[in-house]
Amino acid sequence: MAETIDQIFVLAKDRFLDLLGIVLPDWIILLVRILISIAVLLAVAPVVMMYMTWLERKVLGRIQNRYGPNRVGIFGLLQPIADGIKMLTKEDIVPKNADQVIHFLAPVVIVIAPLLVLAVLPFGRNMIAADLNVGLLFFLGVSTFGVIALFMGSWASRNKYSLLGGMRAFAQMISYEIPMVLSVVPVILVTSSLSTAAIVEAQLGWKWFIFTPWGGFAALVFFLCGVAEVNRTPFDLPEAESEIVAGFHTEYSGMKFALFYMAEFISTFAISGLAVTLFLGGWDGPAFLPSWFWFGLKTFILILIMIWFRGTLPRFRVDQLMGFAWKVFLPFTLANIFIAALWALLPYPKNFIADTIGITVILTLLQIFNRKETPKKRKYLYAN
Amino acid sequence: MFGWGVLKGMLVTLWNFLLTYLWPKKGIFTVQYPEKKLPLAQRYRNFPFLVYDGTPHMIRCVACKICESECPPKCIYIIPEKDAEGRVQKKPAVFDIDYAICMNCGLCEEVCPFDSIFMDHEYEISKYNRAEDLMVRKEALLKPWEYFAKIRPHDFERIEAKRAAKSAKAKPVAPAEKPSQKPDAGPTSPQQGSVPKNG
Amino acid sequence: MSLPCAPTLKTELLEVSIGPQHPSTHGVFRMNAVLDGETVVKLKPVMGYLHRNHEQIAETLPYLANMPYTDRLDYICSMTNNFAYALAVEKLAGIDVPERAQYLRVMMAELTRLVNHSLLIGFLLNDLGAWFTPVFYAFREREKILDFFEAVSGSRMMCNYFRFGGVKADLPESALDQVRRIVRDYPRFLDEFERLLAGNEILKSRCQRVGILPKELAVNASITGPMLRASGVNYDIRKADRYSIYDRFDFRVPLGMTGDVYDRYYVRVLEMRESVKILEQVLKQMPEKGDILSAKGLQACRAPRMWKPPAGDAYGRIESPKGELGFYLVSDGSPKPYRYHVRPPSFINLTVLEDLCIGQKIADAVIILGSIDIVLGEVDR
């Protein structure tokens, strides 16, 4: 029974294809198989995005001692639909001096990347749209080209705030891409595979990489870089609303604006999903609940943490942001590769000690070299 | 260790998040407005209204124009009523307040010697038309004295006591209600002076 | 200006007009910033979008009728604006203030300081990018104080509570308990705020060594209030002038060392703690009963249009939450002031904006503006 529920989506798809197979030739079945996966992803992603906006507003509201949306439908569950209608009916304004074609293309292009990367995420046992043997590389490569769309939008708007936002986005994404990839390298090193499905397989049975010394820190770095990749607080400089109004999407309104948001939320989901896949054991979990549930739950928790960040933390400044990537994350992830290699090389108790020593050394070194930038505690005087 | 302060701050927000579910009464401070309304303080002041005793004909206002001239943004406009011979009556014929200009300062209430204008508790006054709907006429401004007793019982008692004392003192001197304060003479005297001219 | 690494690369300065419609200019204020990349090279503040002719209007109105207009100067702290104006007129006409009214005045002024400072810190964090959470926490506490203001004066923000020679009305029955509750709970809120913010490394690294205002510049530019004290100058009008009855209370003046944004933020936190201390003393010392308006004051307030102060001039000043708020009045013996001048603290504090911002990043310019604590109603008048 549990097995059926676990595989319910896969079975449903197979049953459907079997039915079609009675009348249709094989090559059409293959095509339909691909199309079904695409259709499901395309249908699910916007719904996920809509309810992520709802969740974000609800959680932020609760953090700020308010209710959050609660007027449209029960618990405000229809709020995203109302928002969608509002976005669709809004006037679409294009600035007079904007580069019309690119201005139109940018929101279209930006949603492609986050939708594409969903293909290599294993949502459950056997539930992966395309089990590429370079899945991880595909994810990291494709998710990056969203920045091109950001820059297209910012450049085509002919707005100085947009331009500043676009420049920031470019600098930030390129800088954070490096520690992000480097933090993934230990995982590849240990599993010796780039396929996301294989990475999850390697972690089955509570051997999640987050429980290893190198994996815990790599997960942290990966998650923080992921937050920076999707431009969320505290790394939301490209759209810092208190500084540059809305950054790259200042000049977008209506549905185009909604597409930017959709891209942001779907990539948030994708990055959380990838973090789960790489470090939190993917769909692995106690068997009494289906595998896709565990994947969803873990992703949900990571998304909640991102929302929690947004509700608490102020934003970095641009130079501090860069400093963080180049002076803290990059050296740490580089060292982390060696630490992970030690883990793979040595037998159990020895590798644990070696890793602990290695991480302590690198953290101490980072603290020493960065002490100029670390803020100090201050004393205040009183006059009578 | 870098990051400790961030964690501490995040615990604060987590606590506030949980508090809204565990103890909504303390955790959530928004009021679901149209369904729930906060009780207003008795002294709450919004826009002014005029008081009548008993029936709307018994307006307490005597059209002395003190409030009109004391009003800082000059939002009150008064024309006293005249009888058939053109004599000025102690009653306003026109009493308009422009809500668009009024700034709810409450000075009219403070300077009125006849206790006839007070600040209202009505705050749901959104209108569609600025020019006409927000220019409130006498008829719309009139509210019974009992209404005042309801919204501001504390002040009601105080003013009733004051009025009782005043009428007890005024009776032996003259039957008519005649305020003995000096400033009242200012605005009323020119009107009285103008009576013979018109008549 | 060219990059040192690529001398042949041609770069241009970018002129950005921040405001008057901008999320973090706290109203309709505009900064014309010239940027080299992200660094501010030049910055010109443009103000006057909210000019309402306050001073000229005041010269056409009787003295008391200006009281509600002063509420609208700095609309977050109307009580202290009333206070300064009342002090100026009292000085002009030699009006005395009864004991209980003095305590009420100090109570209102200190509560206003709590409102202003907590709100300012909330909005400063908003400028820093903390998405409204500190603002809502500050609102939550401010709400309690505003409820008290409403119970006492009838209005939450436009209080119009002070009168020449006293205050408008005595406290209603349960209001004193309300203040006691506020004074009891406020330190707890400040602790929460401090846990949330003061230790936060991001906030620290964003605010420390940013927008440093040197002592000499602060004094030369006649900066006042928490901003001056954050630069380490010990000048608090409550101590220096000892107006009203501030000499009876025991409180300290917190001083910053560097004068950067963080000091400006933290000095205000410490000041709030001192305000709570003053409020505790007020509650302890305040006489149970007593007049709230002196006889002379009653004369002035009964018929404002008739009341004529003697000819002469007077300058009444207080330590408003933003700095020295002063009203200069010249009377020619008529019921209206001949000259009425406001010394608005936020306007004068704003004059150093360019000096603070040059060489900083554009994101810093925003928080420097936030830490100056301006209210455009007061800047533009």
**A90-138 tens-digit pLDDT:** 888 888 888 888 888 888 888 888 888 888 888 877 778 777 888 888 8
Q: In this complex, is the C-beta atom of C200 within 8 Å of any C-beta atom belonging to chain B?
A: yes
- Cross-chain Cβ contact B16/A64 below 8 Å: yes
> Which among A336, A332, A367, A368 has a CA at the least distance from the CA of A354?
A336
Rounded to the nearest integer, the mean pLDDT of chain C is 86
| Token code pair at residue C190 | 């400040």
Q: B3 falls in which pLDDT band (50, 70, 90)? A: confident
* φ/ψ bin of C33: left (φ > 0), alpha (ψ from -120 to 50), beta (otherwise): beta
| Token code pair at residue B65 | 């124009």
Residue A45 domain-assigned? no
Q: In this complex, is the C-beta atom of A312 within 8 Å of any C-beta atom belonging to chain C?
A: yes
Q: Which chain B residues are within 8 Å of A62, Cβ to Cβ?
A: 16-17, 20-21
Give the residues across from B117 on adjacent strands: B50
- ipTM comes to 0.84
Pairing of strands B88-98, B135-136: antiparallel
3-class DSSP state for residue A176? helix
Q: Is the peptide bond before A234 cis (omega within 30 degrees of 0)?
A: yes
Give percent above pLDDT 70 in chain B: 84
Q: Which residue has the tokens 């508790």?
A: B121
- Residue C330 is inside which H or E element, if any? strand C323-331
CB-CB contact of A187 with A256 (8 Å):
no
Q: What is the CATH number of the domain that holds B88?
A: 3.30.70.3270
- Cross-chain Cβ contact B30/A65 below 8 Å: yes
Looking at residue A13, what is its pLDDT? 82
- Cross-chain Cβ contact B103/C68 below 8 Å: yes
* Residues counted in chain B: 199
Looking at residue B179, what is its pLDDT? 45
- Positions in chain A short of pLDDT 50: none
Count CB atoms within 10 A of the CB of residue A20: 13
Q: C4 falls in which pLDDT band (50, 70, 90)? A: low
Segment B153-167 shows an average pLDDT of 84
- A362/A10 Cα distance (integer angstroms): 45
CB-CB contact of C293 with C196 (8 Å):
no
Structurally, how many domains does chain A consist of?
1
Q: Which chain B residues are within 8 Å of A313, Cβ to Cβ?
A: 6, 9-10
Count CB atoms within 10 A of the CB of residue A34: 12
Residue A148 DSSP one-character state = H
| B117-119: strand order across its sheet | B117-119, B48-52, B142-144
Q: How far is CA A246 from CA A149, A272, C76, C206, C323, in A?
A: 16, 24, 27, 20, 33
Q: How far is CA A7 from CA A1, A3, A127, in A?
A: 10, 6, 8
Looking at residue B47, what is its pLDDT? 87
| Token code pair at residue B13 | 């927000």
- C255/C233 Cα distance (integer angstroms): 7
Pairing of strands B48-52, B117-119: antiparallel
- A62/A304 Cα distance (integer angstroms): 12
Q: Which chain C residues are within 8 Å of A243, Cβ to Cβ?
A: 24, 362-363, 366
CB-CB contact of A72 with A78 (8 Å):
yes
The CB-based long-range contact list for A300-307 (8 Å cut-off, 24+ gap) reads: A302/A223, A302/A272, A302/A275, A302/A276, A303/A52, A303/A55, A303/A268, A303/A269, A303/A272, A304/A55, A304/A59, A305/A223, A306/A227, A306/A232, A306/A268, A306/A272, A307/A55, A307/A56, A307/A59, A307/A60
CB-CB contact of B183 with C306 (8 Å):
yes
Q: Which of C146, C305, C306 to mutate to test the interface with B (most CBs of B within 10 A)?
A: C305
Give percent above pLDDT 70 in chain C: 98
Considering only CA atoms, give the Rg of chain A: 23
Q: In this complex, is the C-beta atom of A346 within 8 Å of any C-beta atom belonging to chain C?
A: no
| C39-46: strand order across its sheet | C14-18, C30-36, C39-46
Looking at residue C1, what is its pLDDT? 47
* B186 pLDDT above the threshold of 60: no
- C234/C257 Cα distance (integer angstroms): 11
| Token code pair at residue C361 | 């990043």
- A107/A256 Cα distance (integer angstroms): 6
* Residues counted in chain C: 381
- Cross-chain Cβ contact A62/B21 below 8 Å: yes
Q: C3 falls in which pLDDT band (50, 70, 90)? A: low
* C74 pLDDT above the threshold of 80: yes
CA B176 to chain CA centroid, nearest Å: 26
CB-CB contact of B70 with B33 (8 Å):
no
Residue B13 domain-assigned? no
Closest-CA distance, B199 to chain C, in angstroms, reads 30
Q: What are phi and psi of A268, to 5 degrees?
A: -60, -45
Q: What is the pLDDT of residues C23-66, one digit of tens each?
A: 777 778 888 888 888 888 888 888 888 888 888 888 888 888 88
- A365/A185 Cα distance (integer angstroms): 22
Residue A237 DSSP one-character state = G
Structurally, how many domains does chain B consist of?
1
DSSP A329-370: IHHHHHHHHHHHHHHHHS-HHHHHHHHHHHHHHHHHHHHHHT
CB-CB contact of C228 with C323 (8 Å):
yes
**Three-state secondary structure of chain B:** CCCHHHHHHHHHHHHHHHHHHHCHHHHCCCCCCCCCCCCCCCCCCCCEEEEECCCCCCECCCCCCHHHHHCCCCCEEEEEEECCCCCEEEEEEEEEEECCCCCCCCHHHHHCCCCCEEECCCCCCCCCCCCCCCEECHHHHEEEHHHHHHHCHHHHHHHHHHHHHHHHHHHHHCCCCCCCCHHHHHHHHHHHHHHHHHC
Looking at residue A365, what is its pLDDT? 85
Closest-CA distance, A60 to chain B, in angstroms, reads 8
> How would you label A68-101 residue by residue, b for 16+ Cβ within 10 Å and e otherwise?
bbbeeeeebeebbeebeeebeeeeeebbeebbee
Domain membership of residue B105 as a residue range: 48-168
Q: Tell me which amino acid residue C224 is.
A: T
Residue B5 domain-assigned? no
- B12/A382 Cα distance (integer angstroms): 28
> Which among C244, C259, C213 has a CA at the least distance from the CA of C351?
C213
Q: Which of B10, B13, B30 to mutate to test the interface with A (most CBs of A within 10 A)?
A: B13
Q: C328 falls in which pLDDT band (50, 70, 90)? A: very high
- Degrees to nearest 5, angle at CA A29 with A27 and A30: 65
Closest-CA distance, B75 to chain C, in angstroms, reads 13
- A65/A60 Cα distance (integer angstroms): 9
Nearest chain A Cα to C24, which residue? A242
* C374 pLDDT above the threshold of 60: yes
- Cross-chain Cβ contact A314/C270 below 8 Å: no
| Helices and strands (H and E) in chain C: how many | 16, 9
- C321/C275 Cα distance (integer angstroms): 11
Residue C160 DSSP one-character state = -
Pairing of strands B48-52, B142-144: parallel
Residue B65 domain-assigned? yes
Q: Is the peptide bond before B190 cis (omega within 30 degrees of 0)?
A: no
Looking at residue B173, what is its pLDDT? 52
Q: Residue C188, class by beta-carbon neighbours within 10 Å (0-12 exposed, 13-18 middle, 19+ buried)?
A: exposed
Q: Which of A66, A157, A380 to mutate to test the interface with C (most CBs of C within 10 A)?
A: A380
Q: C192 falls in which pLDDT band (50, 70, 90)? A: confident
CB-CB contact of A173 with C28 (8 Å):
no
- pTM given for the model: 0.86
- A226/A173 Cα distance (integer angstroms): 10
Q: Using CB atoms, pick whichever of C23, C133, C234 lies closest to residue A241.
A: C23
* C242 pLDDT above the threshold of 70: yes
